[in-house]
Structure 1
Amino acid sequence: LGASGFGPLAHSDLGMSVFVAGLAIIVLGTGHFKPSVSVMVGQLYKQGDPRRDGAFTIFYMGINLGAFLCAFVCGTLGEKVGWHWGFGAAAVGMIAGLVLYTILRPKYLADIGLPPDGRGASAPLFVVASLILGALCGLAYHYGFLNAFAGLLSPLVVAVLAAVILGLVVWFVWIQRPEDRGPTASIFLFMAFNVFFWMAFEQAGSSINVFTEQNTNRTLFGWEIPATWFQSVNAGLIFTLAPLFAGLWTRLGKHGLDPSQPMKIALGLISLGVGYLFMVWAGMSVKDGAKASMALIFLTYFWHTVGELCLSPTGLSYVTKVAPKRFVSLLMGVWLVSSFVANLAGGLIAAKVEAVERGEIKLPWNFGGQADYFFLFVVTSIGVGVAVALATPLLKTLIQGRDKNDAPTTGH
């Protein structure tokens, strides 16, 4: 589905409606792929295996290696040759991945990821239905239905939808077996913390990126580094640091010292806030035509990456540990929804950065310029992180010990 979606994007000269259809198909393909592959990684290890969090960190490293290379391959082709070639390269990469999976799966995965007996026949129907739904999205855009729908999303409608979703969450937790209710509820609670993290983290693609382009000295040995290249710093750091974190979680788990998931979330949020202190420093240094040092941008990305490695791969691992077996894939998909909510909220907040800089939006502190805006994420990230750390004993009662990595069992 991903490769099928990039096809229309590569031929976007056919019109915006075809482009939207391609985007919709990519979204549907991602929805099929990301929860399923994360669950498959979890199935490689038995319950209590201390290697699980380390394995998810290595898995996360692979994801970010792709993100690191993407900026150079697809981005360079798009900017220098044409976006038809950039999107086409993405499609080729997905097809190559599918071929490798098909060839190597029987040798390395055995029955992991296979549907229960008699249920695999529905897979082609999902593909066909997704292609049809993507085409319908393109038609809806062409005839103006998508714009009309967006116009209906008033604050009242959003509030009603939020109330309905909250009711469904409570109902879903209640229908679980008594021993599963606490761990299931913890997944939804940790999703809220996940939203706080990614809402601040994803400023990298908006406010931090704009600051890097406009207010940062990017000259190195007489050559100006393109601002878009800084988008690969996080992925490069993950590729570098992930093996260290994988070894750390595994080693701590073998000795019964692995931090609980709430504590890892707290560490992730606090590290994120520490990173934003360097953005505050950068914002304060932009005065009278002076620009900030790009070293501050690198330090920001370093601490953000540390926070990400504490929270994100271990969060994926956590869902596979505590979710009821019949709902693992569903809850993994729900967990990933928190990233959507965070990106939406982060984008809405980023739209206010200029208003904060001009003083139109008043904040309780006054560092000047965009430093005020970035300090908002210092306060929220560290504040929520400390709150989670203090609440860890209470949160651990919900988990009921299911997140422990203290049994040195052997995986498949």
Structure 2
Amino acid sequence: MDRRLVILTSLSLVQMWKFFSQYGVRVLLVLYLVQELHYSDARAIGMNAVFIGLVELGGIFGGLIADRFLGLRRSTIFGAWLLATGYFSLLSESSLFLAMGLIVAGSSLFSSNIMALLGSVYEENSSEREKGFTIFYIIQNLGALVSTILCGIVANQYGFRYGFALAASGMVFGNIVLFFLRKPLRELDQSPPKRGGIVLSILGVIALLAVGTLGVYAEEIVFQFLPLLTMGLFGGFAFFLVKDAMIPKKQIYQLLVYLGALILFFAIEDQIFSSLILFTERVTDRTLFGWEISSSLITSINPIVIILLGTAVVSLKSKLVTPFIITGGAFAILAAFCFFNFSISILGVMGVVGAISIAELMIGPLVMSFTSEVAAKGRPGMVMGLVPIAFSLAVQMSGGVGQLMAVENKEQSLEIYGTGFGIVALLMVGGGFILHILMRRFSYEKYCVS
């Protein structure tokens, strides 16, 4: 069997199980904090934003650890076991913040480095690169699809603890796949650990664990300065890469525009797991064909759309012009949120989630593919680390918007949500228009219609 296909399939399966755990937890977390622990909307959404923001932000430090000390393969494996430990720690309420810290540390090592491993399989400018990343994107969403359905049902029937246990089991299977993949990965990344690298890496992981644990615990304080810190890191690394002669400046500028699109789109998409799921729980008529639908099940629409339409994207022989992709995605989301003016049924919510998912599919694989191509020219850990920084900014922006829709008086729920979703729609249109102009200026010939 073709070596690239083996590695693509295996890494996709690992990522699928990681997404099973990640999305199983995400679909339950805000509901768990509000319904089980009786936190306010503002605190639950703030904790979620800081937690996921730190999870994504840690990727840049995981990339540095891989570049300087452990290598991509060891960092990915180490991170996978930390993730499994963190997800299982969620089973106890007393270890909630420690669990979040472990997940922050584990994801920091795992997420950006597994993408860099996959990117190293393909030659520069390979026509198979984007196809490979789209397949990777589809398979990872299979895990998200199954977990959002199963974990939501289990938590609804038996309690949140059992839902978290089911989610955590996914990362165990992911580690089993990594174990059987050890030989191909060793051939792919043969770099020995640097002198003192193990000790320094452990110290780095402990620091990430402490930041994750204390950061989520003190979310109200952290949420005040974390966006500034994240923007500073993004700007600093972007400045370094622009000044670094190893990568052409034009490609760095193109990458930054793509990442700007990613921040905008995923800031909107993250509403699915916070304000939109609370909106569904409180305001929406969840009856469908005589059955009451669990609010957590709306999140399963996201991976369903990505899997079904992602397959069609892979089969296309030509590519849409990138500016059209950005503008089309922006107006898809605008139309979706405007739909709330006409319907608050469960079908209306599903339509909104579907439109958001289409927009995600337009931008997600494109950004992942292009970033890995730029990373192949040099500084792979740093370049790939920009992706989680961008995701972190997106989640923090989402948290700020979500807190505008925090409901203290349930009688005002519909009015508050209506105003908040209107802001989301305007943000999408304004940002989409700016990105459209920038995309036309920095259009990359690879993505133009031939």
2:104 and 2:212 in contact (8 A); partners too: no
Per-residue CA deviation, residues 105-164 of structure 1 (Å, 9 max, x unaligned), is 546x6733x142x337877557744663466458858xxx963x9547757x965x4774
Q: 1:224, CA displacement in angstroms?
A: 0.8
Q: Specify the alignment match of 1:255 in structure 2.
A: none
By percentage of residues, which structure has more helix?
2
SS in 2 for 1:119: coil
2:125 aligned to which of 30, 48, 54:
48
Aligned equivalents of 2:315 and 2:295: distance in 1?
A: 33
Q: Scaled by the length of structure 2, what TM-score is found? A: 0.70
2:328 aligned to which of 245, 264, 267:
267
1:261 and 1:315 in contact (8 A); partners too: no
1:319 and 1:332 in contact (8 A); partners too: yes
Per-residue CA deviation, residues 306-331 of structure 1 (Å, 9 max, x unaligned), is 11111012111110122363322322
2:90 and 2:96 in contact (8 A); partners too: yes
Q: Specify the alignment match of 1:287 in structure 2.
A: none
Q: Specify the alignment match of 1:235 in structure 2.
A: 303
Aligned equivalents of 2:381 and 2:241: distance in 1?
A: 16
Aligned equivalents of 1:340 and 1:374: distance in 2?
A: 21
SS in 2 for 1:325: coil
Aligned equivalents of 1:106 and 1:390: distance in 2?
A: 46
1:19 aligned to which of 96, 117, 135:
96
Per-residue CA deviation, residues 23-43 of structure 1 (Å, 9 max, x unaligned), is 111112112111122223323
1:280 and 1:372 in contact (8 A); partners too: no
1:5 and 1:26 in contact (8 A); partners too: yes
Change (3 A) 1:324 1:260: farther
Per-residue CA deviation, residues 327-376 of structure 1 (Å, 9 max, x unaligned), is 22322222122222221221221222368x99x9xxxxxx9774443233
Q: Scaled by the length of structure 1, what TM-score is found? A: 0.76
Aligned equivalents of 1:138 and 1:98: distance in 2?
A: 22
Identical columns (%): 22
> Does 1:111 find its partner at 2:187?
yes
| RMSD after superposition | 3.6
Aligned equivalents of 2:231 and 2:279: distance in 1?
A: 37
1:220 aligned to which of 288, 304, 320:
288
1:56 and 1:313 in contact (8 A); partners too: yes
2:330 and 2:429 in contact (8 A); partners too: yes
> Superposition pairs for residues 144-223 of structure 1, below 5 Å?
147=218, 151=221, 161=229, 164-165=232-233, 168-169=236-237, 171-177=239-245, 180-223=248-291
> Does 1:8 find its partner at 2:79?
no
2:151 and 2:166 in contact (8 A); partners too: yes
Q: Specify the alignment match of 2:139 in structure 1.
A: 62
Aligned equivalents of 2:159 and 2:287: distance in 1?
A: 27
Q: Specify the alignment match of 2:431 in structure 1.
A: 384
SS in 2 for 1:111: helix
Q: Specify the alignment match of 2:375 in structure 1.
A: 323
Where does the alignment leave 5 or more consecutive residues of structure 1 unmatched?
Answer: 253-257, 283-291, 361-366, 408-412
Aligned equivalents of 2:419 and 2:272: distance in 1?
A: 17
Aligned equivalents of 2:415 and 2:312: distance in 1?
A: 38
Q: Specify the alignment match of 1:342 in structure 2.
A: 394
Q: Specify the alignment match of 1:99 in structure 2.
A: 176
Residue type of the partner of 1:387? I
Q: 1:4, CA displacement in angstroms?
A: 1.8
Q: Specify the alignment match of 1:132 in structure 2.
A: 206
Change (3 A) 1:193 1:184: same
Q: Number of aligned pairs?
A: 367
Q: Specify the alignment match of 1:86 in structure 2.
A: 163
Q: Specify the alignment match of 2:352 in structure 1.
A: 300
Per-residue CA deviation, residues 287-315 of structure 1 (Å, 9 max, x unaligned), is xxxxx332222222222111111101211
> Superposition pairs for residues 269-284 of structure 1, below 5 Å?
269-282=330-343
1:9 and 1:22 in contact (8 A); partners too: yes
Q: 1:244, CA displacement in angstroms?
A: 1.0
Q: 188-197 vs 74-83, which deviates more? A: 74-83
Residue type of the partner of 1:390? I
2:266 and 2:395 in contact (8 A); partners too: yes
Larger radius of gyration: 1
Aligned equivalents of 2:223 and 2:128: distance in 1?
A: 45
Aligned equivalents of 2:209 and 2:415: distance in 1?
A: 48
2:257 and 2:438 in contact (8 A); partners too: no
1:237 and 1:302 in contact (8 A); partners too: yes
2:334 and 2:426 in contact (8 A); partners too: yes
Q: 1:383, CA displacement in angstroms?
A: 3.1
